[in-house]
Amino acid sequence: MKQSLEHTITREGIGAERAIELWTDVIEPACLTADHPRFLAFMPNSPSIYAAAFDGVVGTASIYAGAWLEGAGAICAENQVIRWIADLAGFPASAGGTFMSGGTSGNLSALVAARHRALSSDSGVTRGNAKVCIGEGTHSSVRYLLESVMGVEVVVVPADDRGRLTGKLLRATLDSMGSEARAGVFAIVATAGSTNAGTVDDLQGIADVAEEGRLWLHVDGAYGGAGLLATEKRDLYRGIDRADSLIIDPHKWLFGPYDSCAIVYRDGAQGRAAHTQNASYLDPLADAEEMNPSDLGMHLTRRARGIPLWFSLAAHGVGAYQAAVEQTLRTARQGAELIRANPDLNLLVEPDLSVLLFERRGWTASDYTSLSERLLNDQVAFVTPTQHAGKPCYRLAILNPKTTIGDIEAILELMH
């Protein structure tokens, strides 16, 4: 590939026709298609045709969507989606938010707002003693951004037997801390749909502890937050309405294109207080009554990332989205049944949502790696190994409504 692309950036240019040939013949074939029904590794992406097409419209429209002054129409439409998500979570009228580049930037923005609230109050939190409680199943990026970006100490709460953070274990961890160390805790990160196992934390119990300690509760629903659409799963999310902030990535399970994260604050003013930037050239924006998207996260310049989801939601209707999410859940249930019925396989975690975590009895790490390479080389599927409780295993992330039980069965049959 390097040889093929070596002389493409030249003074005279190679022309659009040749550049398109290189894209078609060299670049695109060397990338995996994340919306393929058998792309089951990591977190697949399966945008609706409307969402994917309208992403192109957003790109060509040349809209700056950081402030109402320049992007009022786009921001108003995006805010319709933010309100829809807030209503799904049961947030009050004071809720507000915006769209960011991904879950990491959304989580960071929420936790910066949490720390800002703590530092602005008489909580006893200082920059020197600040701490955040997370679970063992919390996404790796959360710990990274807390420790390496924010300089905040992380308190890891032990997980229950399903890998979840629970109110009981959280309370026990806080009670075991000395009063001085406990005084620095300002937030808790709960997960609604862990990346590795797809489990949902005990949101109700965690919310109880958060309210008792006046701690900010942030829910990372980057993947699993979309499960709020499924009527059968609503009980899993009890307590999410009491969170102070929530993120959901449309490019995961809401059928939007890369890259997009919706961050919603229970009180939008909290996000604005933490993130508004001051500069003389920004003075024309400072007195606006509306909350500018640039004031609600750790960004300033931004494209209208929420418009593709708005267009697709408006065109298809919420019912179609609900049906698509429920279809993936149905496929995951059927896949779990196949695994349970196979004496050579062992379902490691009963699925809350659409991730299947399982092992092949007697296999070593090299066996999983070998089959993964064969599946990809033969263009059968993209499946990657992971670990659970220190043991190698497989993980299937079913986010594409076009993935069928036949696709799952074809993979399992090769695990003989």
Structure tokens at 246: 């929530």
Give the per-residue pLDDT at 279: 86
Last-in-domain residue among 275, 292, 316: 316
Q: Quick: pLDDT tens for 10-29.
A: 999 999 999 999 999 999 99
Q: How confident is the model at residue 290 (pLDDT cuts 50, 70, 90)?
A: confident
The whole-number pLDDT of residue 123 equals 87
The pLDDT confidence band at residue 284, using thresholds 50, 70 and 90, is: confident
Q: Is residue 152 located within the same domain as residue 246? A: yes
Q: Does 329 reside within a domain?
A: yes
Q: Are 218 and 246 in contact (CB under 8 A)?
A: yes
What's the mean pLDDT in 302-313? 97
Same domain, 190 and 170: yes
- Name the phi and psi angles at 346, rounded to 5: -140, 115
**Is the residue at 152 inside a domain?**
yes
Tens-digit pLDDT profile for residues 333-342: 999 999 999 9
Give the end of a domain, one of 259, 291, 316.
316
Instruction: Tell whether 238 and 109 lie within a shared domain.
Output: yes
Domain-embedded: residue 246: yes
Percent over 70 (pLDDT), the chain: 100
CATH code assigned at 383: 3.90.1150.10
Q: What's the CA gap between 215 and 184, in Å, rounded?
A: 10
Structural domain containing residue 18: 2-31
Domain termination residue (choose one: 316, 350, 380):
316
Position 289 pLDDT exceeds 90: no
Q: How many independent structural domains does the chain possess? A: 3
- Model confidence at 282: pLDDT above 90: no
Going from the C-alpha of 381 to that of each of 39, 181, 327, 401, 403, the distances in angstroms are: 6, 48, 20, 16, 11
Tokens 């993209």 sit on residue: 382
Flag whether 39 is in a domain: no
**Residue-averaged pLDDT of the chain:** 96
Residue 90 near residue 221, CB atoms below 8 Å: no
Q: Report pLDDT for 187.
A: 98
Q: Is the predicted pLDDT of residue 191 greater than 80, yes or no?
A: yes
The pLDDT, as a whole number, for residue 313 is 98
Say which CATH number the domain at 253 has: 3.40.640.10
For the chain, give the percent of residues with pLDDT over 90.
95
Beta bridge partners of 386: 393
Angle between helices 68-89 and 307-316 (to 10 degrees): 60
The verdict on residue 45 lying in a domain is no
Question: What is residue 309's predicted lDDT score, i.e. its pLDDT?
Answer: 98
Rounded CA-CA distance 205/131 in Å is 20
pLDDT classification of 272: cutoffs 50, 70, 90 = very high
Interatomic CA distance for residues 171 and 160, integer angstroms: 13
pLDDT band at 204 (very low <50, low <70, confident <90, very high): very high
Same-domain pairing of 226 and 99: yes
pLDDT of residue 270: 97
| CA nearest to 142, candidates 191, 193, 192 | 191
Task: Kindly tell me if the per-residue pLDDT of 285 is higher than 80.
Answer: no
Residues 59 and 184 in one domain: yes
Looking at the structure, tell me whether residues 211 and 299 fall in a common domain: yes
Q: Indicate the Cα dihedral angle 211, 214, 216, 221, nearest 10°.
A: -10
pTM over the 0.85 mark? yes
Q: Does any domain span residue 38?
A: no
Cα–Cα distance for residue pair 34/13, rounded to 1 Å: 31
Structural domain contains residue 62: yes
Instruction: Report whether 253 contacts 259 (CB < 8 A).
Output: no
Tokens representing 295 are 């004031």
Residue range 137-154: mean pLDDT, rounded: 96
The answer as to whether 202 is a domain residue is: yes
**pLDDT tens digits for range 341-372:** 999 999 999 999 999 999 999 999 999 999 99
Cα(198)–Cα(322) distance, rounded to whole angstroms? Answer: 18
Question: Both tokens of residue 303?
Answer: 């494209």
- How confident is the model at residue 281, as a pLDDT? 81
Looking at the fold, whether 187 and 328 belong to one and the same domain comes out as no
The pLDDT assigned to 416 comes to 86
List Cβ neighbours of 242 (8 Å cut-off, separation of 6 or more).
203, 207, 210, 211, 217
